[in-house]
Each structure stands twice: as C-alpha cells, then as structure tokens.
Amino acid sequence: MVPLGLVFELVLPLILWADISAGVGFRFASYIHDYMVLQKEPAGAVIWGYGVSGATVTVTLWQDQETIMKKVTSVKAHSNSWMVVLDPMKPGGPYKMMAQQTFGTMNFTLRVHDVLFGDVWLCSGQSNMQMTVSQIFNATSELSNTAAYQSVRILSVSLVEAEQELEDLPEVDLQWSKPTAENLGHGSFQYMSAVCWLFGRYLYDTLQYPIGLLASSWGGTPIEAWSSGRSLKACGVPRFTASDFVAGPSQHSVLWNAMIHPLHNMTLKGVIWYQGESNININRDLYNCTFPALIEDWRQTFHRGSQGQTERFFPFGFVQLSSYWSAATSDDEFPEIRWHQTADFGYVPNLRMPNTFMAVAMDLGDRNSSFGSIHPRDKQTVAYRLHLGARAVAYGEKNLIFQGPLPEKIELLTDKGLLNLTYSQQIHVQRQDKIFEISCCRDQQCKWLPAPMNTFSTQTLDLNISSCHDTVVAVRYAWATWPCEYKQCPLYHPTSTLPAPPFIAFITNQTPGYHSKDMK
Ligand SMILES: *[C@@H]1O[C@H](CO)[C@@H](O)[C@H](O)[C@H]1NC(C)=O
Ligand SMILES: *[C@@H]1O[C@H](CO)[C@@H](O)[C@H](O)[C@H]1NC(C)=O
Ligand SMILES: *[C@@H]1O[C@H](CO)[C@@H](O)[C@H](O)[C@H]1NC(C)=O
Ligand SMILES: *[C@@H]1O[C@H](CO)[C@@H](O)[C@H](O)[C@H]1NC(C)=O
Ligand SMILES: *[C@@H]1O[C@H](CO)[C@@H](O)[C@H](O)[C@H]1NC(C)=O
Ligand SMILES: *[C@@H]1O[C@H](CO)[C@@H](O)[C@H](O)[C@H]1NC(C)=O
Ligand SMILES: *[C@@H]1O[C@H](CO)[C@@H](O)[C@H](O)[C@H]1NC(C)=O
C-alpha cells in the first residue's frame, strides 16, 4: 500500500500544476473588462486582480502591435491579489491590455480590448439616481442619441448587500459597454442611471475625450447604508437595536460594503450623488454630519486604495432634493434635508465640504410623474446644472456661473419697515409674495410670516416686513416641500437661468446684516 502522505506529495503538485496552466484563479478585478475607460493623466490607472500566490504577473498595454508599457508585479501570499499602477496616459485609445501570470514554466494570459483613457466618474444614491433614460422626458429621442457618444462608456453595479467590506464586486448588472438604446433603456430603475449618463454626455460635449461612468445606486436607501462604520460613529448615529432591526438594503453600511468599497482600488476622477429622500424620516437632523462625513470617508478610502492615484479631495457633486407633491409631508422636512445637504451653509463648496458642487433642483418638481412626484422626469436639467458645477469645480473653468444667486448682505431697515437683501450676482425676479418669510418674535415666541417683495433692482431686493410688529430675527427663502412650479421660482440668475438656492439666515439687532458664515 502506498502511504497516504506520498499520494499527497505526488498528486497535489500535479493538481496545482494543472490549475496554474489552466489559469484557475487568475483573473482581473470584476470591473476590468473590454470597453472600459481607465483614468487618464495626471493620475495613473490602477489595474488589479487575483492569481496564484507567488506567481509573477506582467501587465502589458499596447496599440497597433506596439507595446506602450509593461508593468511587472507578483501575487501576494495572503490575499492572492496583485496590483500595478500604470504610467499616466493621455486621453484616447483604443488600447489592448494583457495580464500574464507566470509560475515556473507555466503561464496564462488574460486580455481585454477597446480600452480608453479618459475621466472616470462614479454615480451613486437612491432611486432618483437609479432612474433610467427610458423613464425621463423625451426618452425616445434621448435613447436614440448614442451614436455620437461611443466614447462615453457605462457600467452598472448589481444590487448587493454585505455585512463586511468586500474587496471585489460580487456582481455587475451591466459590464463596461458602449451606450445603446437597449442598455440605457433597460427598464424602470434597472441600469443605467439617466442622471449619470446625461452628466457624462454633457461632460463629453465639453471635454471631447472619453468618459467612463459607473452607476452604483439603490432606490429607497438612506445615507447610513452607504456609510462606513467609521463615519456613522463620527456622527453619533444611533446603532440599530434588535427591535428596529429590519434586514435589507437600509441597514448600516451594507451598500458601502458591497457596492462602493469594492471600487476603492480603482483610480477615479470624481463622484456624483443623488440621495436624501430616504433620510426625511431617518436621522434627518444628523444629515448635516453624515453627508460631509460620507464624502470625507469615501475620499480617504479611495485615495488610499488607489495608492494615492485618486485625488485626496477628489471632486464630489450632488443634487439638492427636488420637490415632492404630498399632503403627508410636513413642510420642514424637505427644506431641512436640502439645507443639511450643504452642511447648513446654503452653498457649496464651503469650509466643511471642500471641492464639492451642487445642482439645485427644487424648481423641477413633476407632480404628474408616472413614477410618483418623488421621481421628477426632467433629469436633463439636473445633469446640465451638475455638469456646470463639475466644469467649474472639477475642471477649473474660470468665470463660469455654476450656482444661482444668494444674498451676501441682509440689512434690517426698521424705520422703513423693510429688509434689504443684496445679492452676490444679478437676479431675475418674478414677483411672488409668499416665498420669503420672516421669523417674527415677541418674548421668545416666534412665528413665520410672509414677507412680500417690495422693490428690486439688478442685485438688490427689499422685502416688506410691516406685518411684523415685534422683532424680526430671521429670514428664509423657498422653505417648502414644493416651493414653486416647474422652472417658475421667483429668483434666477438672468443668463445662466440657475435658480437661487433656498436659504435661512438669522438677523441680530446688534449686528444688522450678516456674512455667509452666520448662515446657520
Ligand atoms: C507561455 O506558455 C507557452 C506554452 O503554453 C509558451 O509557448 C510561451 O513561451 C510561454 N511564455 C512565457 C513568457 O513563459
Ligand atoms: C445639524 O442640524 C441640527 C438641527 O437640525 C443642529 O442641531 C446641529 O447642531 C447641526 N449639526 C452640525 C454638525 O451642523
Ligand atoms: C486595495 O487597497 C487597500 C488599501 O490600500 C489594500 O489594503 C488592498 O490590498 C488593495 N487591494 C489590492 C488588490 O491590492
Ligand atoms: C398635470 O396634470 C393635470 C391634470 O391631470 C394638468 O392639468 C396639468 O397641466 C399637469 N401639469 C403638468 C406640469 O404637466
Ligand atoms: C424635450 O424636447 C423638447 C423638444 O425638443 C424640448 O423643448 C424640451 O426642453 C425637452 N425636455 C427636456 C426635459 O429636455
Ligand atoms: C438696499 O441696499 C442696497 C445696497 O446697499 C442699496 O443700494 C439700496 O438703496 C438699499 N435699498 C433701500 C430701500 O434702502
Ligand atoms: C408694506 O405693506 C403694507 C401692507 O400691504 C403697506 O401698507 C406698506 O405701505 C408697505 N410698505 C412699503 C414700504 O411699501
């Protein structure tokens, strides 16, 4: 009888030998695939995958039979993973890429083709990010408009939850693809995100080089699901208790773990985000902490995961909540989330949210939306406003107006019964007597009263405050779930047609007027 130990000694190496030569276990990360876009210069794109511990991996990039670069690494022992950082590449393509694993005399090769270099943006959030092109206004013409955008490539991450941070995506709904009417209009809320696609398309119109778009969003989910344990702890978010434990995608960190963390080793240009509706009734008062904390945590994690290739303060854009037609919602909930989305500044970027940009959307309400008024169908304007922010903040375009007017001085003219607002930009005004309100107080008892518009000029606006016979302590604008009809808010910037964002500002008797830092 042959001793058992000898069987193992003889047979195991044979199995290993066979596995390696067949390339078993050797693969790229799930999202490295034909048609992908890799981040262009000045960053280097990270390429990684799994293999046999100790094997050598050679990554080669070539174009028209000519080798552009070769990078050699080895498979790490514990994680069985390998990683290389490519040299910074100018935008363009297509390239072919090959990864070859060699182990002794055995080798195995993986190939991807039609790889472009450009800017890679990650798009996340809840259902308004998930809504597809087939669900928006002018869907038919938008879906047929893909021929000119074959260098805008798309990928959509599957809806998965996990209890622990995952290293790779368990599943991808739509692997890197060229855009077609089929994969952009796949079905309601099923890949690919319309806001993400339109944002990329507008960027392409300006930049004229490849854009890679990864959509990773899930309807009805609160910010807590997309946040790491670190950021939730930093904001003092109460832990789920056994009694309110509901299994599903709303649990703490489950989507961060499965749908975002697996992307942290890739090199990105930036992130866009459309979320907040689900936090109307979940930790709403903490959103002014949880949102800035999420941005900071994603930035740290992606910077570290990409070996410093993704910028430490990469650009982060978001959509401020639109309007909702409902009798059930109290009139403070939407305005409070909108305000908290700016960390209570009213505008971005600001001290707590550096390098961010925002698309105001409160004037894009759609009470007749076939998907409920919570899902407005004009996503073109949302993406257009967002791309203006990206051009100014992420691409440094000078003199581009990317946000609407806010008052930079507020002066109480008590003797005249007026409140004088001086705006930072020109204003286009359409008279509306209820959209400004003042807080009128006597003995700590305050109530909000409408402050009708009195006179206005190109940059100033006077409000009539004669209805308050006591002390005016604050003023607010558009503080309502549904502040105005479609594109009919009373204040816009005249040429960019960007709406004035909602704000609340306190006025103190001692120091009439305020500076933006007082807007709390
Ligand atoms: C890879 O293996 C093939 C045979 O399977 C051999 O022809 C080739 O030379 C090997 N290449 C390297 C780099 O080892
Ligand atoms: C957030 O807003 C709440 C009120 O909604 C306020 O009490 C709190 O101080 C704010 N926190 C931060 C960090 O701004
Ligand atoms: C991804 O980045 C993390 C953090 O730097 C690192 O621990 C991990 O090993 C990286 N993954 C791969 C495949 O290199
Ligand atoms: C919504 O529908 C109502 C009646 O169904 C119609 O009168 C109104 O014009 C529609 N509003 C918009 C903005 O389409
Ligand atoms: C839909 O198409 C019409 C006609 O081209 C255009 O006027 C309108 O602005 C489009 N709507 C949106 C939301 O883009
Ligand atoms: C409001 O302030 C502006 C700028 O300081 C000033 O030009 C304007 O005359 C003021 N309006 C009134 C009614 O005092
Ligand atoms: C403010 O409104 C009241 C009531 O409509 C009116 O009597 C008053 O003249 C207005 N004040 C100014 C400064 O126009």
Looking at residue 367, its pLDDT comes to 95
Q: 125 pairs with which residues across the strands?
A: 217, 274
Q: What is the CA radius of gyration of the chain?
A: 26
pLDDT digits (tens, 9 = 90+) for 300-339: 999 999 999 999 999 999 999 999 998 777 789 999 999 9
Q: For the chain, report the end-to-end CA distance as a whole number of angstroms.
A: 84
Residue 15 lies in a domain: no
Largest CA distance in the chain: 110
Choose one of 26, 27, 83, 261 to mutate for the ligand 3 pocket test, by most ligand atoms within 8 angstroms of C-beta: 83
Residue 219 lies in a domain: yes
Give the pLDDT mean for 229-255. Answer: 83
Give the pLDDT mean for 112-129. Answer: 98
Of 410, 391, 409, the C-alpha closest to 400 is 391
Looking at residue 520, its pLDDT comes to 35
Pairing label, strands 81-85, 92-103: unpaired
For residue 179, name the pLDDT band (cuts at 50, 70, 90).
Answer: very high
Q: 491 pairs with which residues across the strands?
A: 429
For residue 10, name the pLDDT band (cuts at 50, 70, 90).
Answer: low
In a shared domain, residues 145 and 258: yes
Residue 167 has pLDDT above 50, yes or no: yes
Looking at residue 290, its pLDDT comes to 98
Residue 400 lies in a domain: no
In a shared domain, residues 105 and 123: no
Query: Does the beta carbon of 344 lie inside 6 Å of ligand 2?
Result: yes
In a shared domain, residues 452 and 369: no
* Distance in angstroms (rounded) separating the CA atoms of residues 287 and 509: 30
In a shared domain, residues 367 and 224: yes
Query: Does the beta carbon of 107 lie inside 6 Å of ligand 1?
Result: yes
The residue from 395, 428, 444 where one domain ends is 395
Q: Ligand nearest 485 Cα, by number?
A: 4
Looking at residue 191, its pLDDT comes to 85
Q: Output the six-digit token pair for 66.
A: 């000519």
Q: Is 166 helix (H, G, I), strand (E, B) or coil?
A: coil
* Distance in angstroms (rounded) separating the CA atoms of residues 417 and 49: 69
Are 89 and 40 a contacting pair, CB within 8 Å? yes
Looking at residue 310, its pLDDT comes to 98
Looking at residue 276, its pLDDT comes to 98
Nearest protein Cα to ligand 4, atom 5:
368
Residue 46 lies in a domain: yes
Mapped to the 3 state alphabet, what secondary structure does 283-336 carry? CHHHHHHHHHHHHHHHHHHHHHHCCCCCCCCCCEEEECCCCCCCCCCCCCHHHH
426 CB burial (10 A radius; 0-12, 13-18, 19+): middle
CATH number for the domain that contains residue 103: 2.60.40.10
Residue 254 has pLDDT above 60, yes or no: yes
Residue 186 has pLDDT above 90, yes or no: no
CATH number for the domain that contains residue 365: 3.40.50.1110
Looking at residue 21, its pLDDT comes to 66
Lowest mean pLDDT among 247-256, 298-307, 394-403, 497-506: 247-256
In a shared domain, residues 203 and 305: yes
Percent of the chain with pLDDT over 90: 86
Residue 482 lies in a domain: yes
Give the pLDDT mean for 364-370. Answer: 96
Instruction: Report the helix count and the strand count for the chain, using DSSP H and E.
Output: 10, 24
Looking at residue 2, its pLDDT comes to 47
Residue 513 lies in a domain: no
The residue from 346, 363, 395 where one domain ends is 395
* Distance in angstroms (rounded) separating the CA atoms of residues 114 and 36: 7
In a shared domain, residues 112 and 123: no
Nearest protein Cα to ligand 6, atom 5:
422
| Average pLDDT for the chain | 92
Residue 176 lies in a domain: yes
Pairing label, strands 172-177, 152-157: antiparallel
- Higher-confidence position of 10 and 111: 111
Give the pLDDT mean for 228-251. Answer: 82
Q: Ligand nearest 103 Cα, by number?
A: 1
- Alpha-helical regions (H) of 208-311: 229-234, 254-255, 287-305
In a shared domain, residues 284 and 431: no
Domain count, the chain: 3
Q: Which residue range is the domain that position 81 belongs to?
A: 27-116
pLDDT digits (tens, 9 = 90+) for 482-513: 999 999 999 999 999 999 999 999 997 534 33
In a shared domain, residues 49 and 68: yes
In a shared domain, residues 272 and 197: yes
- Higher-confidence position of 517 and 13: 13
Ligand 7 first shell, C-beta below 6 A:
416-418, 454, 464, 466
Looking at residue 515, its pLDDT comes to 39
In a shared domain, residues 231 and 378: yes
Choose one of 285, 286, 353 to mutate for the ligand 2 pocket test, by most ligand atoms within 8 angstroms of C-beta: 285
Are 75 and 51 a contacting pair, CB within 8 Å? yes
Looking at residue 327, its pLDDT comes to 75
The size of the chain, in residues, is 520
Give the pLDDT mean for 129-145. Answer: 95
144 CB burial (10 A radius; 0-12, 13-18, 19+): exposed
The single-letter DSSP state of residue 379 is H
The residue from 345, 368, 395 where one domain ends is 395
Looking at residue 511, its pLDDT comes to 41
- Higher-confidence position of 131 and 3: 131
* Distance in angstroms (rounded) separating the CA atoms of residues 393 and 375: 27
Residue 465 lies in a domain: yes
Give the pLDDT mean for 180-188. Answer: 91
Are 134 and 375 a contacting pair, CB within 8 Å? no
pTM: 0.93
Ligand 5 mean position, distance from CA 138 (Å): 6
* Distance in angstroms (rounded) separating the CA atoms of residues 109 and 75: 14
Task: Give 471's contacts (C-beta < 8 A, 6+ positions apart).
Answer: 440, 441, 442, 509
In a shared domain, residues 365 and 418: no
Strand positions, DSSP E, 32-91: 37-39, 46-50, 56-63, 66-74, 81-85
Task: Give 5's contacts (C-beta < 8 A, 6+ positions apart).
Answer: none
Choose one of 138, 198, 377 to mutate for the ligand 5 pocket test, by most ligand atoms within 8 angstroms of C-beta: 138
In a shared domain, residues 100 and 174: no
